[in-house]
A and B are shown apart, each in its own frame.
Chain A
């Protein structure tokens, strides 16, 4: 039997990867130069692939609880839930992604700063998760970590290039920092299902990886000659399904086809 905590945690991991992957895919065909358009599209692809692995795992768990009401029905009367149902047929309050990943792309600077904050988080997060007691989650983490290493290097280099670039690029990075910094605290604030699974040696101990993230961010921001955000109130709630207004618009576009034409395939 699967607990609602393990299903919730798996969906949280999937949603984080899917929503950031979708945001990045919005740049496909609009990147500042061809090579960087391709780079960000590659990162989007990696993240959506990671999301699929987690959704497939979650779907199997949810199907294993059928008839027990341990998890609310997704996908109506269908006998079995699939990865697609979880991505396309859940509503905003069902999504458990962090607020950071749903923030709009803004300009190129805001996109790379958001990516850097999240890749640095994923780098240390997956580094721990690959040793967790749940074999399938650990395997996805091990696989994903290799990909995230590229994302971290790429996004960090761009933060340095723009922060330590021209007055205009530095000014835009500062503006991006002013908006995004308030969403970084939530990354290390465990939700109920995380606290429950930490006791079972499955969930990552978030406060324990925070110093690693802090140090990496400090190093890169130092090289970029950018100041970290000021001591602001940290926004939270995404992990419990309380989102900023932006997620609804994202889902409206991402889910439109399956909502308008249920079961449509190409």
Chain B
């Protein structure tokens, strides 16, 4: 039993170092996509939930998790995917949000909201990650990856990504 507990906490700390290929400052733990870790008959079982249904990084993330665990001697890794409850940015770690900000991506707002289906619905103002101005405008609610929207700061003039609340 003692061994299993050690293995589980060991696996969690290995996963801390598995990066998201699209946003390398975030680990899979920061993203909140690891829902459970257990060990069955000496083999790790990881429960993973995707951010968006079509996120192309998910296959790569599964490979990276296997590789990282293999490097630490874990074989026969099982990765189970669950869809419900659906992933939300509310599960992102505070540390992850700070890292995003430092990387130049506005983190999801602390107050969890979901997309409102009303046409031309105005979202809360998103502060610029560079100059902190709230004088910003949304260019497009779809950005370079499924999880981001594209904004522009009207004060410093820089465009930036916003990791949208989901």
Q: Do A and B bind each other?
A: yes
Interface size on A, residues (CB 8 A): 35
Q: Is A198 interfacial (CB 8 A cutoff)?
A: no
Task: Identify which of residues 132-160 in chain B touch chain A, using a CB-to-CB cut-off of 8 Å.
Answer: 139-144, 146, 150
Q: Is A49 interfacial (CB 8 A cutoff)?
A: yes
Q: Is A184 interfacial (CB 8 A cutoff)?
A: no
Question: Across the interface, which residues of B come within 8 angstroms of A153, CB to CB?
Answer: 115-119, 121, 141
Q: Is B114 interfacial (CB 8 A cutoff)?
A: yes
Q: How large is the interface on B (under 10, 10 to 19, 20 to 34, 35 or more residues)?
A: 20 to 34
From A138, A146, A223, contact of B119 by CB (8 A): A223
Question: Across the interface, which residues of A come within 8 angstroms of B146, CB to CB?
Answer: 42, 45-46, 147
Q: Is B102 interfacial (CB 8 A cutoff)?
A: no
Question: Across the interface, which residues of A come within 8 angstroms of B121, CB to CB?
Answer: 153
- CA–CA, A53 and B55, complex, Å: 12
Q: Is A143 interfacial (CB 8 A cutoff)?
A: yes
From B54, B82, B116, B150, contact of A45 by CB (8 A): B54
A147-B141 in contact given A139-B82, A160-B119 (Cβ < 8 Å): no
Question: Would you call A49 and B52 a contact (CB within 8 A)?
Answer: yes
| Closest chain B CB from A55 CB (angstroms) | 12
- CA–CA, A150 and B54, complex, Å: 14
Question: Across the interface, which residues of A come within 8 angstroms of B52, CB to CB?
Answer: 45-46, 49, 147
Q: Is A59 interfacial (CB 8 A cutoff)?
A: no
The dominant DSSP class at the A interface is helix
Q: Is A123 interfacial (CB 8 A cutoff)?
A: yes
Q: Is A157 interfacial (CB 8 A cutoff)?
A: yes
Q: Is A92 interfacial (CB 8 A cutoff)?
A: no
| Closest chain A CB from B56 CB (angstroms) | 7
- CA–CA, A154 and B121, complex, Å: 10
- CA–CA, A149 and B144, complex, Å: 19
Q: Is A38 interfacial (CB 8 A cutoff)?
A: yes
A46-B54 in contact given A38-B140, A142-B84, A157-B120 (Cβ < 8 Å): yes
- CA–CA, A138 and B84, complex, Å: 8
Q: Is B64 interfacial (CB 8 A cutoff)?
A: no
- CA–CA, A152 and B121, complex, Å: 12
Q: Is B83 interfacial (CB 8 A cutoff)?
A: yes
Q: Which residues of A contact B (CB under 8 A)?
A: 35-36, 38-39, 41-43, 45-50, 52-53, 123, 135, 138-140, 142-144, 146-147, 149-150, 152-154, 156-157, 160, 220, 223
Some 10 contacts from A to B, beta carbons below 8 A apart, are A35-B142, A42-B146, A45-B146, A48-B54, A139-B83, A144-B53, A147-B53, A157-B119, A160-B119, A160-B120
Given contacts A38-B144, A42-B146, 14 further A-B contacts (CB under 8 A): A35-B140, A36-B140, A38-B142, A42-B143, A46-B53, A49-B50, A49-B52, A135-B84, A142-B85, A143-B83, A146-B86, A149-B114, A149-B117, A153-B141
